[in-house]
Structure 1
């Protein structure tokens, strides 16, 4: 009976219910596993300690990525029977590789070279076995179809950039998790429009894992951090969504977002990419040091220096990024280079307003004194 039911089941006819079921399963697994993870971390002293560039005081469990991985794995293996099992198994393989690398880094410290190698392998696993890659830039700067190997290398670059972007912004309460949640909700919407049920369910599994995590991440009593495990897993999933969305949009001239997918991805990820490129420029060009050397030059550190709290900083950044997403959806039918210019100008202005305001406030105080 169950076999016949599965054979006659059409996922596209029940996409809403599958989305809700995936959120429920993931939420249940994560909310029941996080307390146990916190207890184990405290008993074994597997904590993140304050000091250096840390914006926190005291010691906090930094194994939130374990709960996120478990939630995603359980969800896509239980619901995956009626979905695209090939792509989901490959995704699970890449996630498992990054999970163990991140876990070792959170507990024992892992060299940047080994992390980078693991990220490359996880990305190549999907690119080569599914041939899901960015084949063109939809006419940005008149760049259209790229040669195969250029396409593979560029797609690898996108994976590495996004994975490390989420790793780098994980510096204050809620920032990486909330930005990831916002991006994944946005991707779940466009994948729903494309009827890409496997990606919708994967997105739902991450949403269900992030909601209870963010509650703990913002908590003062039972606080938990993502750790490298969590930030790399989130970055990998979001990189996968970015590449798949652009790929599906570019290969189908009739796709709803055929002329806008690269710009929409930039909007979904505007702050992580802006901060990463900015921090790399500061470290490489100004300070002449490794781009992975820790410091307090991130934009979220600048907000803290201005006197904003962790919650206020996260709220400002997420609201600003949400405005950019709305703007980009509104202009998605424009010529793509005009879309890009509008996004870059709008983003630069919006993220500069707080610093301009603080400078004007400082100047007025000096004049009054």
Structure 2
């Protein structure tokens, strides 16, 4: 009954937000790098910080005792991201809030106690890089919601069947938020886009869960629950460096962008394929007992080869 009520609250919340976004013209206008052609409401990803607030209301004592620092970090990064969706902020402000949020996240996961001092800067770079990867990959209908849903479902399975590491509701609430968001976003003509508030919000929540899992188990292989995103972003950055492009400028070089913009493949098909491949990786990852270097090789060599082959083929076909 609790989850039905939560789902209803989330539905009502996002519908109310649509009315607010429509009134105040919070929209996403297509530009030269967009994979869409219609003006669409932006910021539907506000459902994720709302889901955390609802989680706190339904689990008040638990939230106060265990999730305070995480919640402050999530709400901080979502607030600055939402403001950036409405009115562009300076990089200095955004980066400052991101750093504060990551500090709160690492405190929440116990990383400052469990990891040596020299590892902390590496964790900062990895987490901020992964957050930005989540943002880079949020470019077509269904991608952020579907990919996050399969990752969260895998984390839920690990928590229930492999090793319990957190409150089950802390995983179920973002899953419900993903389902509600996908109802409006996983469409040929999406009702809304996630916006920075969505990609950063759910990215922060997923990264928090994975970091917590790694700290509890000592198994670094679980970072590969985001391996498809990671491979896409890293290989695209390497490509842009080789082409002597400014990696901080907007572009259309991601493989999913080539399929959507040049090949005109349905956004929903592309998002489903990316999600499917991550799902297969997760099944292998959860059940594998190989050393981490073997797991990395078995995942990235075939998938990296497939990725590079597809991108080379598309670039040759369309003279890119």
Q: Same fold (TM over 0.5)?
A: yes
Shift of 1:165: 1.0
Corresponding residue of 2:21? 41
Q: Which secondary structure state, in structure 2, belongs to the residue aligned with residue 272 of structure 1?
A: helix
Q: 1 CA distance for matches of 2:305 and 2:289?
A: 22
- Alignment counterpart, residue 111 of structure 1, candidates 71, 86, 90: 90
Shift of 1:134: 9.8
Corresponding residue of 2:32? 52
Q: 2 CA distance for matches of 1:130 and 1:319?
A: 29
For residues 73 and 242 of structure 1, do their structure 2 counterparts lie closer, same or farther at Cα, with a shift above 3 Å needed? same
Shift of 1:215: 1.2
Corresponding residue of 1:245? 213
Corresponding residue of 1:263? 221
For residues 61 and 335 of structure 1, do their structure 2 counterparts lie closer, same or farther at Cα, with a shift above 3 Å needed? same
Corresponding residue of 1:229? 197
Corresponding residue of 2:101? 122
Corresponding residue of 1:64? 44
For residues 225 and 359 of structure 1, do their structure 2 counterparts lie closer, same or farther at Cα, with a shift above 3 Å needed? closer
Unaligned runs of 5+ in 2: none
Matching of residue 100 in structure 1 with residue 79 in structure 2: yes
Shift of 1:357: 7.7
Whether the 8 Å contact between 1:106 and 1:228 is mirrored in structure 2 is yes
For residues 249 and 196 of structure 1, do their structure 2 counterparts lie closer, same or farther at Cα, with a shift above 3 Å needed? closer
Q: Which secondary structure state, in structure 2, belongs to the residue aligned with residue 269 of structure 1?
A: helix
TM-score normalized with structure 1 length: 0.78
Give the paired residue count.
Answer: 315
- Alignment counterpart, residue 180 of structure 1, candidates 144, 148, 164: 148
For residues 338 and 129 of structure 1, do their structure 2 counterparts lie closer, same or farther at Cα, with a shift above 3 Å needed? closer
Instruction: Note the alpha carbon deviations across 1:281-331, whole angstroms, 9 max, x for none.
Output: 233342331x2211100121122223311011111111122122222234x
For residues 133 and 307 of structure 1, do their structure 2 counterparts lie closer, same or farther at Cα, with a shift above 3 Å needed? farther
1:291-306 alignment runs, 5 A limit:
291-304=247-260, 305-306=262-263
Matching of residue 288 in structure 1 with residue 288 in structure 2: no
Runs of 4+ aligned structure 1 residues displaced above 6 Å come to 356-360
Q: Return 228-237 or 347-356, whichever deviates more.
A: 347-356
For residues 150 and 24 of structure 1, do their structure 2 counterparts lie closer, same or farther at Cα, with a shift above 3 Å needed? farther
- Alignment counterpart, residue 85 of structure 1, candidates 64, 80, 84: 64
Shift of 1:121: 0.6
Q: 1 CA distance for matches of 2:43 and 2:241?
A: 31
Instruction: Note the alpha carbon deviations across 1:317-363, whole angstroms, 9 max, x for none.
Output: 11122122222234x21222212211211322444565588799x7x
Whether the 8 Å contact between 2:258 and 2:314 is mirrored in structure 1 is no
Whether the 8 Å contact between 2:185 and 2:192 is mirrored in structure 1 is yes
Q: 2 CA distance for matches of 1:133 and 1:186?
A: 26
Shift of 1:56: 1.1
Shift of 1:114: 2.0
Matching of residue 163 in structure 1 with residue 121 in structure 2: no
Q: 2 CA distance for matches of 1:300 and 1:88?
A: 35
Q: 1 CA distance for matches of 2:251 and 2:6?
A: 35
Whether the 8 Å contact between 1:76 and 1:201 is mirrored in structure 2 is no
Shift of 1:41: 1.0
- Answer with 1 or 2: which has the greater Rg: 1
For residues 133 and 277 of structure 1, do their structure 2 counterparts lie closer, same or farther at Cα, with a shift above 3 Å needed? farther
Unaligned runs of 5+ in 1: 1-19, 136-145, 251-260, 363-369
Corresponding residue of 2:182? 214
Q: 1 CA distance for matches of 2:315 and 2:72?
A: 49
For residues 279 and 328 of structure 1, do their structure 2 counterparts lie closer, same or farther at Cα, with a shift above 3 Å needed? same
Whether the 8 Å contact between 1:76 and 1:205 is mirrored in structure 2 is no
Q: 2 CA distance for matches of 1:293 and 1:117?
A: 20
For residues 24 and 111 of structure 1, do their structure 2 counterparts lie closer, same or farther at Cα, with a shift above 3 Å needed? farther
TM-score normalized with structure 2 length: 0.89
Corresponding residue of 1:325? 282
